[in-house]
Structure 1
Amino acid sequence: MLSEQTPDPIRQHALAALTATFMTQGHPTEYAKHMATAAIFQTDLELRNAQLTRLLGWVKQEHSDIYPEALALLESTREEFERRIQIGG
């Protein structure tokens, strides 16, 4: 995901800072870069999960009539994603 997006100065700074921290801890440079990338990726996933959870809560509270449809859309998206993973692309 990081390589597919336009470079974000904040993300690049975080990547450099985390890489430097891991290197200071004694990790080899390449390993430190991978560790930093993984940490940022995990944080992005957690943020997106929190955003989706909050949005679903809002839909449930403010638009309960479409909440079941929203859940069905999420489920179909998950199923489609799993199918694409299984067929390799």
Structure 2
Amino acid sequence: MTFPPTSEQDDVRQEALSALTATFVEQGHAVEYAQQMATASIFQADLELRNAQMSRLLAWLKDSHPDFYPEALALAESVRQEFERRVTGSYSRAGRFF
């Protein structure tokens, strides 16, 4: 299930990207590199947030719903393996990507 981003979320993301890019430019980086650095920084922060959310959710399941925890853990592992196959190209021959 995915939820489409709202225009407000898009505005906040664009403002964050612009502000971070400007900071990198002020530090002396070329605009092209500053944009890439800002994008990478935001992407890394988003990955860390999602990792923390997943860890918290799994810990909560383990404590509050121990009967569901093993299945949730197995599902998380299968998603990791599927992602790894996609990244390494196992899916590219079949024409399937994210």
- Describe how 1:1-89 pairs up with structure 2 within 5 A: 8-87=10-89, 88=92, 89=97
Q: Higher helix share goes to which structure?
A: 1
* TM-score, normalised by the number of residues in structure 2: 0.80
RMSD, matched Cα: 1.5
- Unaligned segments of structure 2, at least 5 residues: none
Cα drift, residue 81 of structure 1: 1.1
The one-character-per-residue Cα deviations of 1:43-85 (angstroms, maximum 9, x if unpaired) are 1001101110111111001100110111111111111111122
Q: Distance in 2 between matches of 1:84 and 1:6?
A: 28
Identity %: 65
Amino acid at match of 2:35: K
Q: Distance in 1 between matches of 2:12 and 2:30?
A: 24
Aligned residue pairs, count = 85
Amino acid at match of 1:59: L
Q: Relative contact order (alpha carbons < 8 A, sep ≥ 6): 1 or 2 greater?
A: 1
* TM-score, normalised by the number of residues in structure 1: 0.88
Amino acid at match of 2:68: I
Runs of 4+ in structure 1 over 3 Å off: none
